[in-house]
Structures are given as structure tokens and as C-alpha cells.
Structure 1
């Protein structure tokens, strides 16, 4: 055993350092579903800044100290409070916000979001099936993003009003009618946030023989 440790000590040191780096500072996250379409699509791999908000002990949810507060509009990875699965969504509500959704329109602190630039889309959900939808620019609380709706899909299009508790956040997927977000899993405590997703590292078409989407490589996540 000593001979093996001595022979491979540099490789062991490298992988230990790599593991600490990935669990403490930076990470990457594959996108397995369409819940963040059109911002992120299946087959994207995103870069995640694990120290965007808190410096945590490796392999734990224990924060050593807070660095910055998450903001509305941030795209974040986190552990689901419902079943422990890692998810990626957008923060739409921060502590103290009053949120409501009326017939798909998001309200933040009594002010409705504005929706512009409507475009009809057809989303491919399998190699031989597509579903009609609409893509729009959503302006809400001094931030904007592109979201989409699919009227044929059964979804929760109304909720609230509700107040976001202290040290918690309300998440929505940009694909509003196909996302298991805070409408279903509840508020997300800050301790369960993993990090902020900021760029697409790589992308491949999982429904088309994993052909690379080179135009998405290195794109910022807005």
C-alpha cells in the first residue's frame, strides 16, 4: 500500500485538490430537462460559481461566512427542499417580497410584469413530437429575461399572494408551464443554494445524435 501511495502520490494530490475545487469553488452542471427553456436547453453544460453567495465547508451546506446576497433574476443551482435533487432555476423572489401569479402574469410587490416581443414557437419534446408555445421577454422588478409558455400543457398558472420568508427564495423555471419549481417544491432556504450559473460551457443536441451546438459554447446566461 505504501509503495502504491508513493508511486501515485502526485495523482492522488491532484484529484484531492480537484475534488476540493469542484465542491467548494466552481462546478459544472448538465441540463437534463427543458424547464429553463429558452435560456437553457437540454444538453447544455453550465458553469457554476459556488462562492457567489457563501463560502461553505466542502461537501456540506454549512456556510463559513456570507459573501453576497442572491438577487432577483439570478440563475442558480440548488438542492430541492422536497426530495434532495439538484435543480437549476431562476430567482424571482427574495426575502420579504410579496409574490403572486394571475393567469401566468407574475406580480412582484404589487407590480405586474410586462411581456413584450411575443413569438410563436414549436418546442421539440421527442424525436417525432413537438408542441406549440409562445416566447416573450418578461420585464419584472428592474430585470428581464426570455420566458416561454405552452398553453396545451397542464400547469399551475395562478398562486398567492405569498410572502417570501427570511433566508429563503422563490424559484421559477423560464419554461413556465413545464417546470417543477417553487410552485410545487416550496421556498428554497439559502443554505440549499449551491451557486450561480453564469456561462454555458458546452452544448450538444441530445435529441439529434449529440451533435454539438458550437454557437452556445461560452455564451453568458442572462
Structure 2
């Protein structure tokens, strides 16, 4: 064993440095589920900027210094407050915001987000059946992005006004009726944020023929 370590120490150092880089500076995150349709697809691999918000001690959630502030509309990766699973969602409400949902539509600080129809498509559910999906543009202030609604799927579409606590954020999936987000797991504290997802690095059709989706390579997220 000692001889193996000695003969491969360069490779071991490389792996250690790569691990530190991924846990402190930048990372990549595969998309395994449909919770961020239509903007992220299963088989996308996104680039995550771990220095967007905080500099942390590698391999921990300990914040050394703040480098930037999360913004409404940011797509972020984080550790679930429910079970520690890494998730990716969109920040909808910031600390101090009063937020509610009415029939699937967001109201923040008494002002409703604006919505515009982008058409309809079909979403394939895990059991293999297809259901209509409504594509909408959602805008609140400077934050604008596409979302998807599944009107025939049972989901939480209403909650009473609640104030986002200090140092916490409300996150929702863009696929609003098929996402385990703050409606189910609660608010996400800042120290659980991993970083901001900024673009798709590579993509492959993992639910179909596994061919590369080159048109998605380098796609910016917003």
C-alpha cells in the first residue's frame, strides 16, 4: 500500500485538489428529475459557481465571508433542510418578503407576479402517462423566467401569507406542480446554499437515446 501511495502521490494530490476546488470554488451538478422543466431537463449538467454567495471552509457549511447576495430569480443548488439531499430550485422570495400562493400564482409583498401564456405541451409523468403542461412567463420586478404548470396533477397551489425569516429563502421549482420545494421542505437557510447555477455545461437525452443535445451546451440560465 505504501509503495502504491508513493508511486501515485501526484494523482492523489490532484484528486485532493480537485475535491477542494469542487467544494469551495466551482462545481457541476447533474439534473436527475423534472422539477425544473422547462428550463432544465433530465440529463443536463449545470455549472455551479460556489463563490457566488459565500466563501466556505471546504467540505463544510461554515461561511468564512460573504461574497454576494442571493437574488430573486437565481437558480441555486442547496442541501435540503429536510434530509440533506442536494437540490436545485429557483429563489422566489428573499428574507423579509411576505409571500403567498393563490391558485398557483405568486404574490410577494402584496404585489402579484405577472404571467403571460407561452403555449401548451405534454409532460410525461413517472408512471409513463402524459398530461397537459401549460408554459408561462413569470415576472416579478427584474426577475423573469419560464415556468410550467400541470393543471391535472395534484399539488399544493395555495398557501397563506408568510414572512420569510432572516437569513432564509423561499425556493420553488420551475415545474411548479412537480417539485419538492419550500412548500414541502420549508425555507432554505443561507448556510445551506451551495452556489448559483449559471449555465448548462453539457446535456444528453438520458430518458431516450442518450444522444448529446448539443443545442443545450453552454445555455445560460435565468
TM-score, scaled to structure 2: 0.96
Task: Say if 1:115 and 1:138, in contact at 8 Å, map to a contact too.
Answer: yes
Match of 2:63 in 1: 63
Match of 1:14 in 2: 14
State the Cα distance separating 1:120 from its structure 2 match. Answer: 1.1
User: In the alignment, is residue 41 of structure 1 matched against residue 19 of structure 2?
Assistant: no
Match of 1:117 in 2: 117
Task: Say if 1:80 and 1:185, in contact at 8 Å, map to a contact too.
Answer: yes
Q: Take 1:12 and 1:88, find their aligned partners in 2: how far apart are those partners?
A: 30
State the Cα distance separating 1:5 from its structure 2 match. Answer: 2.8
- Any stretches of 5+ residues in structure 1 without a counterpart? none
State the Cα distance separating 1:73 from its structure 2 match. Answer: 0.3
Secondary structure of the residue aligned to 1:23 is helix
Q: Take 2:39 and 2:213, find their aligned partners in 1: how far apart are those partners?
A: 14
The CA deviation string for residues 158-181 of structure 1, in whole angstroms up to 9 with x for no partner, is: 112000000000000000110100
Query: Which moves more between the two structures, 207-216 or 85-94?
Result: 207-216
The CA deviation string for residues 47-82 of structure 1, in whole angstroms up to 9 with x for no partner, is: 101111000001100001111110100000000001
- Any stretches of 5+ residues in structure 2 without a counterpart? none
Secondary structure of the residue aligned to 1:88 is strand
The CA deviation string for residues 2-52 of structure 1, in whole angstroms up to 9 with x for no partner, is: 433331121111111111101111111111110000010111111101111
Task: Work out the number of aligned pairs and report it.
Answer: 222
Task: Say if 1:108 and 1:141, in contact at 8 Å, map to a contact too.
Answer: no
Q: Take 1:128 and 1:99, find their aligned partners in 2: how far apart are those partners?
A: 34
Match of 1:182 in 2: 182
Match of 1:146 in 2: 146
Q: Take 1:169 and 1:44, find their aligned partners in 2: how far apart are those partners?
A: 25
Q: Take 2:170 and 2:141, find their aligned partners in 1: how far apart are those partners?
A: 14
State the Cα distance separating 1:127 from its structure 2 match. Answer: 9.2
Distance 1:211 1:125, change over 3 A: farther
Q: Take 1:128 and 1:156, find their aligned partners in 2: how far apart are those partners?
A: 22
- Please give the residue correspondences for 1:192-207 in structure 2 after superposition, counting only pairs within 5 Å: 192-207=192-207
Distance 1:128 1:155, change over 3 A: closer
